[in-house]
Amino acid sequence: MFRTALRNVSAHKARLLMTAFAVMLGVTFITGSLVFGDTLNRAATAQATDGYERIAVEVDLNGSPGGGPGPGAIDAQAVTALAGVPGVAVAAGRVDGFAAVAGRDGRPLGQGESHQGANFAPGPDGTDPAYRFTHGSGPAGNDTIALDESSAAQGRYRVGDSVRVGTNQGAASYTLSGIFRTDGMRLTTGSSLVLFTDATAQRLFLQPGHYRSVELTAAPGTQPQGLLRRVESVLPQGTSAVTGGRLAQIKTNLATSTSSTMSQILLGFAAVAVFVATFLISNTFTMLIARRTRELALLRAVGASRRQVRRILLTESLLVGAIASAAGLAAGTGVAALLRTLFTPADTPAGPLVLTPGTVIIALLVGTLLPMVAAWLPIRRAMAIPPVAALSAAEPTAPARAGTLRTGLSAALALTGTAAVVFGAFTTEKDARTVIGLGAALALTGTIGLIPLLSRPFVSLVRPLLRRLQPVHGDLAARNTVRDPRRTGATAAALAIALTLASGLSVLGASATDYLDRATAHDLIADYQVKPADGAMRMTPDTAAPLRKLSGTVFSPLNQSTQYRLDGTSSVLTGVDPATIGRLLRYDVIEGSLDCLAKGQIAVADFKAEQAGWHVGQTLPLQRADDQRGSVTIGAVYQADEQSDLLPSITAPDSLVARYDSTPNTAAILVATDDGPGPAALGTISRALGDNPALAVLDEAAVRAQDSGPIGDQLNVFYALLSMALAIAALGIANTLAMSVLERRKEIGTLRALGLDRAGVTRMIRLEALLIGGLGAALGTVMGVFLGWALGRTLQESVAGYTLVLPWGRLALGVLIALAGALLASLWPARRAASVDIAAATAAQ
């Protein structure tokens, strides 16, 4: 049986090529996803643990070990005491905080979000073991700094150059004293690191004479655990100690969380690709077995049992899967390298590709089992044909059952799924999206089962257009497309799945982008919004103080203050300048007046007032976490979206916030000028803020881009991943047409004999491909828009301004790409059909 299967694979290798290629693509995607994830995890682990082997024990302020200190600081005397513990070779006090280095263009250097500053802590020999200098030396004066090698190269800085650095204390220029390399734990990929002297770092990031942590290096022969026990007996109050090995484990867990999420997303798209490939494989084996019905019947007639014939066919699928799996495993490793180049953030650490035994086993299992599962139903159908009936037919085929049960079940699934999606769209329950997801799976499954039934009305709908454009070839193509609806449906289903996902994502992305654009255009009246350039810097009300010197300019910080309870309700107050906020933000007041802010009262968003049961004129008791107490009166209620990044839930005068909170966080600074936005105004504001590289001055267009840009970036990644499923669907069309040409050689030869030229045959096959592609694209687009609408409905409860937006351009582009793929897939089958020998084809029995 095995030798027979081997011979059959060899005899039909051309026909099985597309199936093997589909399996290879599915395995390639799975392998690439797993290798990509393992590579990111291994690289993140290596970077997170790089340098901790040098640290025996770290003393940190109370909080999560290695996860950021709590309040307070470690004074220099405590560092001296720790240095005297037996077994301690060096005790290095560390201070760190936010510091952005300006490039030649004034923008922050580094491509990541981590811009750090730290202290240079030299020992008795004048060196700091954490840093290795390639040029110059560490900072020795308060006006000098050292810069990491990557940032210095990016900014084209050399020792002796003047470098501008922005911190939470403002911006200043320093002289570059040295360029260094350091451990991965201190400097992540794509970020920047500036070294200051002890005194400067303490002034900028903490307080003079104090440190955030202390790194202890063990003397030769001292074990970290033993040193830890001795250190714990002399720990300063409010601190804790942990070994470097334990810190490395904690950092590893934190570092791998992001890469694990990306790996799961990739595996989800890989599952889609494998699901699409299943249709191609099943369809191919259906056509192959149909053409070999007489061969299989002859095996039965000479004594082979059904089990033996079934075993032969399953062995064939196993061989195809094994060969394709091996190829997919090799190609997947290359795809992982491509994914790492295209889809990893700039701050992702680099490392060698990682191919684990688990990845090899999963890829081989999927690649070998997938063809066997996909081929099971066609084999079962073929086994139902009696040998005598198969041998008596000139071109025997498996009985094409009417499929009443299948059609009824598919219709029931489609209707049930559609009803569930509609119910989920209109319900307000928290699990509405889960209901929509389950309903979408049922509806899509049912629609796939109904595609053979839907193919006839679809072809009937477009046939008049085909007859008008191509009277002969169009009519022939339409007839051939519906000759075997089940085959056409299985081929179009793969394309429909990919287009459903792409269309649904397009609808959601376009609707979300439109909402953000409208919200920004409506809420923002100010000419500019000042925000941290990378989100890491902490702005305070003092950040906006230099703007007071500008004439013809009004501004207001948005000072967020937390930990309030108003009338027992947890609340966040945002302090604004009552005199200017009306020129900077648009408040649609429903009740009361915004003038209440000047009277020391607060204005509340409508959703907050509704949730808490508040109304204008009500006086609320106020209590803060530090046990400060008071009261506030509601003077106005305004319309706002709960998801808005601009309009706060509670607007208060900045004097009220300052009464309870001396250090609020300034989320943004809104600025308006008498002359309106322009290069001159932008330059004036930037100079007034000290040309600080850590601050970004954004106009309305930049604010929109900052809010909606990530959505477009994510959609582009998802589209790129879905392209694999589209490629497999195109292969399915090519395979179906190729097998169809083999089955219709006599028919094609007859058409040629009757006068249809080669160009006509080619045109007929291409039109068939376009019909199949159009069927899949139409169903996929309709399903995608439907699901996008349903998911969007669930957002309207929490996002008041969200409305459905149909991105006609992207939807049309998706259909055009599908049709183009179908047309490309038809090139090889059309060429084979055009080259059919007339005499040999018409003489065939």
Task: Tell me: pLDDT of 695 over 50.
Answer: yes
What is the pLDDT averaged over residues 117-134? 88
- 411 Cβ partners below 8 Å, 6+ apart? 446, 450
Angle at CA 681, nearest 5°, toward 680 and 687?
90
Q: 836 lies in a domain?
A: yes
| Residue 341: count of CB within 10 angstroms of its CB | 8
How many CA atoms lie less than 13 Å away from 513 in the CB half-sphere? 19
Q: 648 lies in a domain?
A: yes
Most confident of 95-99, 438-442, 650-654, 673-677: 650-654
Most confident of 200-204, 704-708, 837-841: 200-204
Shared-domain flag, residues 547 and 652: yes
Task: Tell me: pLDDT of 95 over 50.
Answer: yes
Q: Which range, of 148-162, 335-349, 393-407, 583-597, averages the lowest pLDDT?
A: 393-407
pLDDT at 800: 67
Distance in angstroms (rounded) separating the CA atoms of residues 692 and 107? 9
Q: Which amino acid, one-letter code, is at 623? A: Q
Task: Tell me: pLDDT of 508 over 60.
Answer: yes
Boundary of a domain, candidates 212, 244, 276: 244
Shared-domain flag, residues 582 and 505: no
Tell me the pLDDT band of 374, cut-offs 50, 70 and 90: confident
Structure tokens at 378: 């066609």
* Residue of 536, 519, 584, 594 whose CA lies nearest to 558: 584
Distance in angstroms (rounded) separating the CA atoms of residues 488 and 496? 12
SS (H, E, C) 569-607: EEEEEEEECCCCHHHCECCEEEEECHHHHHHCCEEEEHH
| Residue 282: count of CB within 10 angstroms of its CB | 20
How many CA atoms lie less than 13 Å away from 256 in the CB half-sphere? 16
Most confident of 119-128, 182-191, 744-753: 119-128
Shared-domain flag, residues 831 and 732: yes
Q: 630 lies in a domain?
A: yes
- 357 Cβ partners below 8 Å, 6+ apart? none
Query: Which tens digit of pLDDT belongs to each residue from 795-820?
Result: 776 676 778 889 998 899 989 998 99
Q: 135 lies in a domain?
A: yes
* Residue of 666, 685, 653 whose CA lies nearest to 562: 666
Which residue did the predictor score with more confidence, 625 or 665? 665
Beta 629-639 vs 96-101: how paired, if at all?
unpaired
Q: Could you tell me the end-to-end alpha-carbon distance of the chain, in angstroms, rounded to an integer?
A: 29
Beta 619-624 vs 553-566: how paired, if at all?
antiparallel
Residue 27 CA, chain-centre distance (Å), reads 21
Q: Helices H, strands E: what count in the chain?
A: 24, 23
Task: Tell me: pLDDT of 732 over 60.
Answer: yes
Task: Tell me: pLDDT of 581 over 90.
Answer: yes
pLDDT at 119: 93
- DSSP secondary structure letter of residue 554: E
SS (H, E, C) 82-149: HHCCCCEEEEEEECEEEEEEECCCCCECCCCCCEEEEECCCCCCCCCCCEEEEEECCCCCCCEEEEEH
**62 close to 70: Cβ distance less than 8 angstroms:** yes
Distance in angstroms (rounded) separating the CA atoms of residues 372 and 365? 11
Which residue did the predictor score with more confidence, 253 or 622? 622
Shared-domain flag, residues 514 and 616: no
Distance in angstroms (rounded) separating the CA atoms of residues 453 and 460? 12
**623 close to 565: Cβ distance less than 8 angstroms:** yes
Query: Which tens digit of pLDDT belongs to each residue from 224-240?
Result: 888 888 888 888 888 88
Tell me the pLDDT band of 578, cut-offs 50, 70 and 90: very high
Which residue did the predictor score with more confidence, 602 or 167? 602
pLDDT at 347: 56
pLDDT at 344: 61
- 126 Cβ partners below 8 Å, 6+ apart? none
Q: 717 lies in a domain?
A: yes
Q: Left, alpha or beta for 63 (phi > 0: left; psi -120 to 50: alpha)? A: left
Shared-domain flag, residues 687 and 730: no
The structural domain count of the chain equals 3
Distance in angstroms (rounded) separating the CA atoms of residues 772 and 827? 14
Distance in angstroms (rounded) separating the CA atoms of residues 815 and 232? 67
Task: Tell me: pLDDT of 241 over 70.
Answer: yes
Q: 40 lies in a domain?
A: no
- DSSP secondary structure letter of residue 656: H
Shared-domain flag, residues 652 and 757: no
Q: Which amino acid, one-letter code, is at 625? A: A
Q: For the chain, how many residues are written?
A: 845
Distance in angstroms (rounded) separating the CA atoms of residues 261 and 714? 14
Percent of the chain with pLDDT over 90: 23
Tell me the pLDDT band of 70, cut-offs 50, 70 and 90: very low
pLDDT at 263: 66
Shared-domain flag, residues 682 and 551: yes
pLDDT at 654: 93
Shared-domain flag, residues 606 and 495: no
Residue 145 CA, chain-centre distance (Å), reads 37
Q: 205 lies in a domain?
A: yes
DSSP-based three-state secondary structure for 312: helix
* Residue of 98, 176, 95 whose CA lies nearest to 133: 176
pLDDT at 53: 76
Distance in angstroms (rounded) separating the CA atoms of residues 380 and 384? 7
Distance in angstroms (rounded) separating the CA atoms of residues 218 and 132? 20
Task: Tell me: pLDDT of 64 over 60.
Answer: no
Shared-domain flag, residues 512 and 574: no
Query: Which tens digit of pLDDT belongs to each residue from 381-412?
Result: 767 666 665 555 444 444 444 457 778 888 89
Structure tokens at 743: 């089955």
Structure tokens at 600: 């020391």
Residue 121 CA, chain-centre distance (Å), reads 40
pLDDT at 560: 93
Structure tokens at 456: 């006839």
Which residue did the predictor score with more confidence, 522 or 608? 608
**Buried b / exposed e across 177-206, counting CB within 10 Å, b at 16+?**
bbbbebbbbbbbbbbbbbbbbbebbbbbbb
Distance in angstroms (rounded) separating the CA atoms of residues 188 and 44? 9
Task: Tell me: pLDDT of 1 over 80.
Answer: no
Q: 261 lies in a domain?
A: no
- DSSP secondary structure letter of residue 351: -
Task: Tell me: pLDDT of 425 over 50.
Answer: yes
Shared-domain flag, residues 518 and 624: no
Expressed as residue numbers, the domain containing 665 is 538-693
What is the pLDDT averaged over residues 593-603? 94
- DSSP secondary structure letter of residue 380: H
pLDDT at 237: 82
> Residue 85 burial (CB < 10 Å; 0-12/13-18/19+)?
middle
Q: Which amino acid, one-letter code, is at 824? A: L
Which residue did the predictor score with more confidence, 3 or 436? 436
Shared-domain flag, residues 94 and 205: yes
Strands of the sheet with 213-218, listed across from one edge = 88-94, 213-218, 57-61, 239-243
Q: Which range, of 48-52, 68-72, 384-388, 625-629, averages the lowest pLDDT?
A: 68-72
**575 close to 657: Cβ distance less than 8 angstroms:** yes
* Residue of 341, 381, 334, 376 whose CA lies nearest to 355: 334
Residue holding tokens 């006006």?
143
Tell me the pLDDT band of 68, cut-offs 50, 70 and 90: very low
**114 close to 191: Cβ distance less than 8 angstroms:** yes
| Residue 809: count of CB within 10 angstroms of its CB | 10
pLDDT at 398: 42
Shared-domain flag, residues 149 and 191: yes
Boundary of a domain, candidates 227, 244, 261: 244
Boundary of a domain, candidates 649, 675, 693: 693
